[in-house]
Chains A and B, each alone.
Chain A
Amino acid sequence: MTTNVALAISGITKAFGTNLVLRGVDLDLHAGQVTVLMGANGAGKSTLVKIIGGVHAPDGGEMRLGGAPFRPADPAGAIRAGVVTVHQSINDGVIPDLDVATNLVLDRLPGTGEPHLFKPGRARTIAAEVAERMGLALDLRAMVRDLSLADRQMVAIARAMAREPQVMILDEPTSSLSDAEARRLFALVDRLRDRGVAILYISHRTSDIRRIADRIIALRDGAISGRFETEPLDYEAAVTAMLGHGLTEAGIEARPAGAEVLRADGLRLTPAGRPFSLSLHRGEVVALTGLIGTGKTALAETLVGLRSPVAGRLSLAGRPYRPRSIREAIAAGVFLSAKDRANNAIIPAFSIFQNISLPFLARYGRFGFLTGGPERKMARDQIDRLGIVCQGERDPILTLSGGNQQKSVVARWLSQPCRLLILDEPFQGVDIRARRDIGAKLRETAGDRATLVLCAELDEALEVADRILVMADHTLVGAHVNTDIDLDQVLSQIATHAEAASDARPSR
């Protein structure tokens, strides 16, 4: 290993409220080396990136940049010191309504000592130098909004390079690129490596990681759970370290399934995806696991009418089922508790009971008038059943902790009987206790319906499910009954099929 450490991170801790997100992370980034960081949702990846990038200050631990203490007060401070971040959302890195040249020199505009008059000619001269250095073959006068996503990403990275950083963080840079575009990006990353930049690269894509990783670091529950630094890099072991297992033997007693509730035949979610079949039964909790971006949410959205499948047939309780909107799905008794509660579930202006009752208001009054009594009683029942910590059902939802907000969201969909309940990442951003409460309640109430839980973390799936399905590249690649489950097989299905999947991706 090279010994030239660009950024040394030691003992970094960070908590948000009572939620300990990072529990002492030690990590060295070496100059001229690509370090890949892997971690599931909520492992603390983005918090770590934000601390390095100066967005958050750590609670404990220290960082040293080139040997000197590095304590950025804000993102601008981190950039001045030589640490730049290229964010996952490409449009955060470029300004679409300006041309390429202006984008490349943008960071000089606020600088003191720069002339006040903007000269396009001079800007293009500087931009041409930057582009030349980065091997960027683009028309500098082209508007960024007219470029492809890949080209925009290149401009964002080149723009970051114009600051001559020592450390560059690339946060899932290929998440919206095709394979051919990704290859161009890798060529650019090679160039950065040759220039001696220490690169922290965040990604789950096997093809990315095999192509450019010099080493892999796995992050899990706020701590480093595996380091893989010797050739050949063991990708499967890294996935295992990232997802983890064996910590919690939840003691699930897999129950016999009842009548079939939902059936899918020859379902294809994307034009390139292989068709698959799915059968969900009454009384059964099924977990669907797989890496991020493998089609779990696409399947959930298909089942509630938010998107239509490319091919295949659905039937619900023996009858053809083809919902055209989420309203039709709810009317048919198929409920979806969406992931990312802040954006997709919580009504911030509402109280707890108003949040819970929202989809079913027609059932709590006469002639459209809400009388309040039955609605609030239902909410109080749900609060008791799920153990939502609050003073009363009229508390504003935003006064609750994250875990209790999530419980309220789950309570919303448990408050009325249904045929099929789908929960997309119901344990996202909640502490272990809320997670156990929610899981237990899902199992306890599962008798009269089919339940499908989507979770990327294998531990969560093991805790809640009778049956575990594995998804990769928008198709099902494995099914396991959750008793004496062969975890190695599950993990290898998650990992190896993901590899086959990303290799099989069509290039544009």
Chain B
Amino acid sequence: MSVDAQTDAAARTEVLIRFGIRYGFLILLVGLLIFFHFSARGFTSPQSAAFIFQSVAITAILALGVTATLVVGGFDLSIGAVATTTLMASAYVMVVWDQPALVAVLFCLGIGLLVGFVNGVLVVHMRVPDLLATLGMMFLLIGLQRIPTEGRSISRGMTLPDGTTAPGSFSEGFLALGRHRFDFFVDNLIPASVVVMIVLGIVMYVFLEFTRHGRMMYAIGSNPRAAELAGVPVRTYKIVAYMISGVFASIGGILLAARLGRGDIASGNNLLLDSVAAALIGFAVLGAARPNAFGTAVGALFVGILLQGLTMMNAPYYTQDFVKGAVLVVALVFTFALSHRAGR
């Protein structure tokens, strides 16, 4: 009898732990929303929601990209630098070369693809460990983006190194990427960057979960040797993962440039850490214990909601990084300690 009762209790605890691992993070998210609804006036208004989405859009896009490299068991530290490089590059193409917005966008996407390809080749063919290869690339890009303008920011009418004045300017169309707002129940509510984020999030989610390419990428991340012996082109997919990461980061950089309206040399410092944190928090969502697009998006939103709520409750700005760090640590405990205890 008592033995039965004990196993019953143990089974119940087991079920509870499983439930906690699976839904814990989402429950926490809902709890936060309820808490802020009552303690911060205006938190649950459409404008506030749009603001939260806008504040995390670029981070989330970069995080979705780095998720692709995490899925194949890699890592990409260069995403922040890719974003700031494309920020500078788009400004340079439009302001100094006086080219239209489309050229700037294509040029930047090209940079993202190229950097991702080089990262992939370094990791796959030169056998440089992923953290080191992408760290090197990060430094290289941070330096490279300063060279054409001798370390200065790019804006309309700036004086170029050769003494002439820059001929071009940011086109209206390009700026719209950062400033246009779509109507959604309320007029002028949703910024274009948020729409881009949502579209990319859905694309990434479908790609990873429902295509054979995504399936093979997860196989590579779990056991590359077995994947190879099952005929998966491991090297190709790894390079593709870094190219996805590069191109997503360049999209983030383009949106950042469009929002700022100038090639600001000091912007985007926090992008790398914030987006990696979002992707890692994503491990804990729905108890996935693996990189996944849905989790990454929720991870980015979670941080955004927390910061917005705390700001509306008058928490000082300098506590923000501390809060992000704390969320990340809790999420990692969820992912690793708890799910291992549940025997998976």
Contacts and interface: CB of A to CB of B under 8 A. Distances in A.
B290 interface: yes
Nearest to B224: A347
A361 to B, nearest CB: 4
Contacts of A343: 223, 225-226
A330 B231 contact: yes
Interface string A330-354: 1000001010000111111110001
B74 to A, nearest CB: 15
Interface string A359-379: 101101100111000000000
B212 A359 contact: no
B39 interface: no
B227 A358 contact: yes
Nearest to B233: A327
A370 B229 contact: no
Contacts of A479: none
B230 A412 contact: yes
Interface residues of A, number: 26
Given A326-B231, A359-B230, A396-B344, A349 B218 contact: yes
B159 interface: no
B228 interface: yes
Given A361-B212, A370-B210, A396-B344, A347 B223 contact: yes
Nearest to B216: A361
B231 A347 contact: no
A358 B214 CA distance: 11
A359 B228 CA distance: 9
Nearest to B229: A338
Contacts of B47: none
A344 B227 CA distance: 8
B212 A368 contact: yes
Nearest to B221: A349
B211 interface: yes
Given A327-B233, A344-B226, A358 B219 contact: yes
Interface residues of B, number: 22
B211 A368 contact: yes
Given A346-B223, A348-B222, A354 B215 contact: yes
Interface in B195-223: 210-213, 215-216, 218-219, 221-223
A365 B211 CA distance: 8
A326 B212 contact: no
Contacts of A326: 228-229, 231
B218 A350 contact: yes
A24 to B, nearest CB: 32
A396 B225 CA distance: 19
A268 B211 CA distance: 42
Nearest to A331: B231
Contacts of A396: 344
Contacts of B231: 326-327, 330, 359
Contact of B229 (A345, A361, A369): A345
B226 A346 contact: yes
Nearest to A413: B230
Contacts of B227: 347, 358
A358 B216 contact: yes
B332 interface: no
A369 B208 CA distance: 10
A478 to B, nearest CB: 29
B232 interface: yes
A268 B297 CA distance: 55
A348 to B, nearest CB: 6
A338 B229 CA distance: 7
B210 A347 contact: no
B219 A350 contact: yes
Nearest to A371: B210
A346 B216 CA distance: 13
Contacts of A364: 212
Nearest to B222: A349
B81 to A, nearest CB: 30
Given A346-B223, A359-B230, A361-B215, 4 more contacts: A343-B225, A364-B212, A368-B212, A412-B230
15 contacts: A326-B231, A343-B223, A345-B229, A346-B226, A347-B227, A348-B223, A350-B218, A350-B219, A354-B219, A358-B230, A359-B231, A361-B215, A362-B212, A365-B212, A370-B211
Which 4 pairs across A and B sit closest by C-beta, in order of nearness? A361-B212, A349-B222, A359-B230, A330-B231
